Structure 1
Amino acid sequence: MNRQYRRVLPLLTAAALAATPMEALAENPQFAHDEATWERLKDNVMEYDELSLLVEEYNPNYQNEQASYNDTKNDDDAAQIRRDAKDSAQDMYDSAEDLKEQAEDLSSMADDLSDQAQAALDAGNPALAAQLQAGAASYMAGYAPLMSAAAMTQNSALKSDISADSSYVDSDMRKIQHVKNQKGIIVSTQNLFNSYNQLRANAALIQKNVEVMEAALRATETQASIGMATQADVLKAQKNLQSIQSTQTETLASLETLRQNLCMMTGWSYDAQPEIREVPHANGDAIAQINLEADTQTALANNYDLQYSRRALGNMQENSTDRKNQERTVKNLEQTVSATMTNLYNDIRQKQIAWQLAQAELATEEQTMSAMETKRSLGMASDIEYLQEQSTYLSKQVAEQTADMALFQAIETYQWAVNGYMNTSGS
């Protein structure tokens, strides 16, 4: 089915499912990609290597981030931004002074009326004195709110003034943060794709285990009918089947949730049924070519958080307290990036070993499965024995597949770190 007729611009909430496919496509002009690429993006197949383009073209969070950045984008440098903030603070200071003057004017008029009231009272005119005193009270009733408003405005001005002094964000820093946010959406989508495939593989194994438990129950019931098993044995077999069926129900529900989220993050509607392809195999050659020392230097140059912090440092005054604090922040970030690169590299090596072990165990189990096939063909293995061996063999297959996918993701995470995207802030 052509994507153009069924693709929507869904948010990860139901309220945003109103956008049309053509509105989604309008985010980038037709000439942004060649015809072959557009055809891939519009087919009903989801592949790992096209996820980044799918996110860029159709993901609503990605596009909202772009729109938000475009709305606030300007070429102001940090100094100009601080000047503007200072001007705004000064305007608030002026407003506070105006409010104070108005309050003081009311107080003066109230004092004048009070003096006149006293004079009227001294002159034997209490009625006029009462009217004048009421007017004075009316003026004083407006005094307190004006003074309160003046104090609040002055407090806001002070906060804005302090904020301006400590604000070093400029247009370059906003762009760095914007790019990091968009890369994060792509990374999240790729990780979700991997998680979906790992859970899908485990769901197949659980289905095989359900078949084994069903066969075990049938065998136990048959044995019970001829007195070779007790009712307690039957109840135990039933309980085992119910347990694995419950696990299957939960797994399939989780798998469906992942599928829906993955679809919506790549532009399909939540109830669409695209063909979701498998995760590519881990590339052993890519691992062999890793140069941790060189990659760490590249990561230190590319890291978005470091770029942001270094830019802020450059906007600070020499020898200021803020600059000294920021220098420590940059140094700590550099240490964090370097340490994280080492950890990511070690994670690749550990997952490579785990994959190699899984491959070895699968190779051994293939021989066992082959022997079982022979026994089965000679009538030397029961149905339950055959199913149990199938389950064991499938478990080794799934273990090898998930180890492969885990290694692939570790390599991807490492490469993202080299290119600048790394979660160094815990956010």
Structure 2
Amino acid sequence: MKRWKIAGLFAMALMVSAAPFQAFATSPEFAYTAEKWASLRDNKLEYGEIADLIHEYNTTVRQNELDYQEYKGKTSTDIAEEYYDSANEVSERIRYPDDDSANYANQIASALNSEISVTNLTEQGDSNVDDGEIKRLGYEQQEKNLVQQAQKLMISYYSGKASLATLEDAVTQAETAYTQAQTRKAAGMALQSDLDTAAEAVTNAKASLQSAKSSLEQTKQQLIIMMGWNYNDSVEIGSLPDVDTSVVSKINVTSDIQTAIANNYSVKITERRLANSQSENNRATYTNTLANQKETVSTNVKNAYNSLVLAKDSYDQAKTSYDLAEKERAAAELRLSAGTITKKTYEKQESACLSAKTSMETAKLSFLTAQVTYDWAVAGLASVS
């Protein structure tokens, strides 16, 4: 079934089972332009569409939309009353057996367990500080985390693709070495053990390549399922955004830390729990928690920035190494044309250049991952633990 049909059925289910919920329900047709809907509903995953696809089609997000209906608009007092009501219902059903009851042991155990449930439910009501807004913040935080996860997964997919060229080259080299070993053995210049070693190298190289391909496919399937497609659907993975390392020099970490604290979902939730607290014990607990969370956010944003700087430096170094390797390969190509080096020597230089290119691509994607981590940390997802 196409995803747009699923979305439509889900929207119908919402209309039947719950009141319309603009913030979290699958969006109505007028939410986007016709062109935007067409882009979301095609079978191509674009990096810039990840957030919208997660919001519209991710099963966890859609379930959260339904679950939120139970809490929407409720205060912490409303939710506490629900705990008390549940405690009263359990209490009213408690029945203690007569001493001579045939099933006395089981009945008394059941009654005692119910008493424990009543106590627990009452304590939950007494200590409850959650309300509908806290539930909304928690669900929104989960959705944003899914977007970040999907973005990194798409980067990981391309990182896996980048490694395939090197692994394929390793297979080619191993097969060439095996052919050469066969020739040497036929000429009496190599032992059977040499041939066996070369054959094993071919087997291992092919196994590594196949493992990488399988891992790449698993990453793709995980990614498209997060976006609402089915397993094995034919989906084209679009390109990643261009990398611009100059953004690092424009970052104001001090300012970003304050923004990160203001945006942080966990901090917002704790602030609201503190505001909802009725007891001095709860207020003291959440005041301390809030201070610790803000300090941890500050530390983690700094760490994310440092990681971003290191990733930039690694990419710059890898790019320099590749540029040098490419110049050496081009020079070797000229020498090969002039007959001053052998084809084997050139192929070694070509392989070295390919390896340097793969390292550069990997470093570039590592930088992009670090940038995603930093951006989301500032946007509200910095860890508070």
TM-score over 0.5 for the pair: yes
- The answer to whether the Cα contact below 8 Å between 1:376 and 1:382 also exists between their aligned partners in 2 is yes
Q: For 2:266 and 2:7, how far apart are their aligned partners in 1?
A: 35
- The answer to whether the Cα contact below 8 Å between 1:369 and 1:393 also exists between their aligned partners in 2 is yes
Alignment of 1:112-261 (within 5 A): 141=102, 149-261=110-222
**Once the two structures are superposed, what CA deviation does each residue of 1:169-205 show, in whole Å capped at 9, x if it has no partner?**
1111111101011111111111111111101110121
Q: Highest CA radius of gyration, 1 or 2?
A: 1
Shift of 1:331: 1.3
Structure-2 residue corresponding to 1:37: 36
Shift of 1:354: 0.3
Unpaired runs of 5+ residues, structure 2, are 13-25
> Given the superposition, is the C-alpha separation of residues 24 and 274 from structure 1 closer, same or farther in structure 2, using an over 3 Å criterion?
farther
**Once the two structures are superposed, what CA deviation does each residue of 1:284-312 show, in whole Å capped at 9, x if it has no partner?**
23222211111100111110111111111
- Helix, strand or coil: the match of 2:381? coil
> What letter is aligned with 2:35?
A
- Helix, strand or coil: the match of 1:328? helix
Q: Percent identity?
A: 27
Structure-2 residue corresponding to 1:126: none
Structure-1 residue corresponding to 2:238: 277
Structure-2 residue corresponding to 1:64: 63
Q: 2:371 matched to 1:422?
A: no
* Moved beyond 6 Å, runs of 4+: 142-146
Q: 1:352 aligns with which of 302, 305, 312?
A: 312
Q: For 1:329 and 1:21, how far apart are their aligned partners in 2?
A: 40
Unpaired runs of 5+ residues, structure 1, are 1-5, 10-18, 108-136
Structure-1 residue corresponding to 2:16: none
> What letter is aligned with 1:392?
A
Q: For 2:377 and 2:329, how far apart are their aligned partners in 1?
A: 42
Structure-1 residue corresponding to 2:21: none
Q: 1:79 aligns with which of 71, 77, 80?
A: 77
**Once the two structures are superposed, what CA deviation does each residue of 1:106-128 show, in whole Å capped at 9, x if it has no partner?**
78xxxxxxxxxxxxxxxxxxxxx
> Given the superposition, is the C-alpha separation of residues 92 and 233 from structure 1 closer, same or farther in structure 2, using an over 3 Å criterion?
closer
Structure-2 residue corresponding to 1:7: 2
> What letter is aligned with 1:341?
V
- The answer to whether the Cα contact below 8 Å between 1:81 and 1:170 also exists between their aligned partners in 2 is yes
Q: For 1:146 and 1:242, how far apart are their aligned partners in 2?
A: 67
Structure-1 residue corresponding to 2:20: none
Deviating more after overlay: 301-310 vs 50-59: 50-59
Shift of 1:236: 2.2
- Helix, strand or coil: the match of 1:262? helix
Q: For 1:76 and 1:51, how far apart are their aligned partners in 2?
A: 31
Shift of 1:313: 1.1
- The answer to whether the Cα contact below 8 Å between 2:71 and 2:131 also exists between their aligned partners in 1 is no
- The answer to whether the Cα contact below 8 Å between 1:281 and 1:405 also exists between their aligned partners in 2 is no
Deviating more after overlay: 263-272 vs 368-377: 263-272
Q: 2:333 matched to 1:373?
A: yes
Shift of 1:24: 6.6
> What letter is aligned with 1:229?
A
> Given the superposition, is the C-alpha separation of residues 155 and 228 from structure 1 closer, same or farther in structure 2, using an over 3 Å criterion?
closer
Structure-2 residue corresponding to 1:326: 286
- Helix, strand or coil: the match of 1:420? helix
Q: For 1:224 and 1:25, how far apart are their aligned partners in 2?
A: 71
> Given the superposition, is the C-alpha separation of residues 244 and 73 from structure 1 closer, same or farther in structure 2, using an over 3 Å criterion?
same
- Helix, strand or coil: the match of 2:27? coil
Q: For 2:383 and 2:93, how far apart are their aligned partners in 1?
A: 44
Q: TM-score, normalised by structure 2?
A: 0.88
Q: For 1:29 and 1:377, how far apart are their aligned partners in 2?
A: 64
